[in-house]
Amino acid sequence: MWPDNETETDYLNFTGVSDTVAEIVIQAQGRPISIGVSGAWGVGKSSMIKLIRAALAGRAEGDKSKLVFVEFNAWLYQGYDDARAALLDVIAEKLQNEAKDRQSGFEKVAEFAKRIRVLRTIKLGASALLPLAFGLPPVGFLMQALELGHKALTGSVGQEDISTFKEKAAAAGESASGLLRPPPDTSPPKEIHAIRECFEQALKEMGITLVVLIDDLDRCLPPTTISTLEAIRLFLFLENTAFVIAADDAMIKHAVRKHFEGVDDTLVTSYFDKLIQVPIRVPPLGTQEVRAYLMLLFTQNSTLSVAEKEAIRVKVCKQLGQTWRGLRVDRAFMETLQDNYPPELLARFESADRLAPLMTSATQIAGNPRLIKRFLNALSIRMTISRAHGVGVDEAALAKMLLFERCGSPAAHSKLSQAVITDSEGKPRFLGEWEDKANAGQELKLDAPWDEPFFREWLTVAPRLANMDLRGILYVSREHSPLISAEDRLTSQAAELLASLLQHPDMSATLKTNLMSVPRPELAIMMDRVLAHAQAQQEWGTPDILEACLVLAEVDPPQGKRLGTFLRDRPAVQITPSIVPRLKDESWAPELFEHWSQSGVSTSVKRAITTSRKSDGDIKV
């Protein structure tokens, strides 16, 4: 399993981007700078923030004391605290700790923290302050007083209730006194100006640059997003500050639109541009990066030593930096990096080679690192289930089916699953011709729901599935599509009769009496299963399975028409003359014979049909 969180280890050669951001901050030399790291959900923004911090720490080598980092995740405060106030508190706490460690800037930092508390007091809602302003206790306190009065009337009040009430009354009085004693001659604009001055002077006295790393802003609801941006705006353009904000710019603009209703897109863009001086986008992954990412994740979970894994990672990232020159990261390249790969790891490299192009192009994954990791975790879970239940599952085939489940058409996946369930050996045989053509590069015209470009490319991914028993794979994938076979809907009697028909079809006539008591819906299910088994028959004269079909058709006449349709769809080359006498007495046979007479069946079959018609007094040819 791979943890679904940010990492300080670079698997995607993002170091070039993180080094660029670090260089911008260092070269600013204390001048204010704000950098936006944008990208869609799951592309690696949080990991980029970690890499940027590491890059900054590395570039400040020998002078690390000048950089102080504050990491703030607005999403964690959503619903618990005002994000704007929370960011101010986090910064104040960090500066207080730094002032204590550095033995400098005490007074300015203390004043900064005090003014933040004052601003919080001023910003308290009028609904909270109004009762206290008129000398009234808070609403909660009044409710407790009423409750105590009720207990007194009913005679259930105790000494403990009275003591608790007195304590809370005293506390309410002290709170009112403190809250209603704001600093003289103050207002929000004045406090904001004072906060900025204290903050800037504190940084100057301590000789530091404060680097604020803000993450997960695009996970927040619009009010929290705007509140955090407004807090950032309070510190922007102050000396010795650097803000690095990781967020999906589209989500930020959405929050601005929601907050400032009625503004046009030009103003929305302007708002964001005024906050972000340097926009940087996390680069999307191409096939080379996705393949490298898969191989490094597989390597991470292998039995190689930590030193070997790190050496491989460094070489892979270096190679990624050269892919623009035509160099590749594939199995062949990986094999040049290490001599003693475990065999199972080499097999996974082969899977990565095959899966990477589809994981890049399929819109449901689109090279997203988080989705790739979740895919691999799902694969790992299902392999664990297969081992726990003793189900023999080929990992490559499971990965291919899981990819189809995630990215293919739901209707197509349902049809594929049904084909596996109804086949006597659990094989999706209908894929055979398509796989042959797809792998040979031949034109493949398919109807819905198979007519997707993804499906054509999926057919070329190894292994080929047409002749593989996939029932085990469906079994371990039950959380997505329940493994419900037709037999699951049969009574025990019907299930036993079906088993006998399939195991000993030549003895089917002896089961006729018992079959007469089976309900018609169950007979239809039984015919489904028998016809699915008959798909494997390559010659249609009088095979044993035909006897099972005919007995079911005799017991339930509508099943005869289904058998006729089934035989009509058999390749003409499979039909032999001996089948004609066996079918000639069936009510649905004339229509089938007419079709065969007009089709490409052999001359001997047509002659047998003519003979059967003459023997019945029908001289039509």
- Digit-coded pLDDT (tens) for 243-280: 998 888 888 888 888 887 777 777 777 777 788 888 88
What does the chain come to in residues? Answer: 621
Least confident of 249-263, 454-468, 550-564: 249-263
pLDDT the model gives residue 167? 58
pLDDT the model gives residue 489? 66
DSSP category for residue 11: S
Do the beta carbons of residue 585 and residue 556 sit within 8 Å? no
CA–CA separation, 183 vs 186, rounded Å? 6
Do the beta carbons of residue 212 and residue 94 sit within 8 Å? no
Least confident of 98-102, 484-488, 608-612: 484-488
Consecutive H or E run containing 214: strand 209-215
pLDDT the model gives residue 180? 42
Q: What is the mean pLDDT of residues 301-326?
A: 91
Of the pLDDT bands very low, low, confident and very high (cuts 50, 70, 90), residue 307 is very high
Residue 128 has pLDDT above 50, yes or no: no
Residue 372 has pLDDT above 80, yes or no: yes
Residue 51, C-beta contacts closer than 8 angstroms, at least 6 positions apart: 8, 10, 14, 15, 17, 18
Q: What is the mean pLDDT of residues 321-331?
A: 89
Residue 290 has pLDDT above 50, yes or no: yes
Least confident of 394-398, 429-433, 578-582: 394-398
Of the pLDDT bands very low, low, confident and very high (cuts 50, 70, 90), residue 292 is very high
> 């011709």: which residue's tokens?
433
Q: What is the mean pLDDT of residues 165-179?
A: 49
3-state secondary structure of 339: coil
Residue 409, C-beta contacts closer than 8 angstroms, at least 6 positions apart: 449, 450, 452, 455
373: left (phi over 0), alpha (psi -120 to 50) or beta: alpha
pLDDT the model gives residue 316? 93
Of the pLDDT bands very low, low, confident and very high (cuts 50, 70, 90), residue 181 is very low
- Residue 620 or residue 50, greater confidence: 50
Of the pLDDT bands very low, low, confident and very high (cuts 50, 70, 90), residue 617 is low
> 């004391």: which residue's tokens?
65
Q: What is the mean pLDDT of residues 543-569?
A: 92
3-state secondary structure of 209: strand
Q: What is the mean pLDDT of residues 102-106?
A: 86
SS (H, E, C) 341-381: CCHHHHHHHHHHHHHHHHHHHCCCCCCCHHHHHHHHHHHHH
Q: What is the mean pLDDT of residues 277-301?
A: 89
- Digit-coded pLDDT (tens) for 478-514: 654 444 454 556 787 888 888 889 888 999 999 999 9
pLDDT the model gives residue 178? 45
pLDDT the model gives residue 365? 86
Average pLDDT, the chain: 81
% pLDDT > 90, the chain: 23
Q: Can you give the residue ranges of every domain in the chain? A: 15-104+207-281, 287-476, 487-615
Residue 547 has pLDDT above 70, yes or no: yes
Measuring CA to CA, how many Å separate 483 from each of 375, 408, 410, 470? 21, 19, 15, 11
Token code pair at residue 281: 């986008």
CA–CA separation, 389 vs 160, rounded Å? 60
What pTM was estimated for this model as a whole? 0.62
The CATH architecture to which 15-104+207-281 belongs is 3-Layer(aba) Sandwich (3.40)
CA–CA separation, 364 vs 293, rounded Å? 17
Q: What is the mean pLDDT of residues 200-226?
A: 87
Do the beta carbons of residue 555 and residue 514 sit within 8 Å? no
Q: What is the mean pLDDT of residues 227-247?
A: 84
Residue 147 has pLDDT above 90, yes or no: no
Please give the single-letter amino acid code of residue 12. Answer: L
**What is the torsion angle, in degrees rounded to the nearest 10, for the CA atoms of residue 487, residue 428, residue 376 and residue 461?**
180
- Residue 148 or residue 126, greater confidence: 148
- Digit-coded pLDDT (tens) for 412-443: 988 898 888 888 788 999 999 999 999 998 98
pLDDT the model gives residue 614? 75
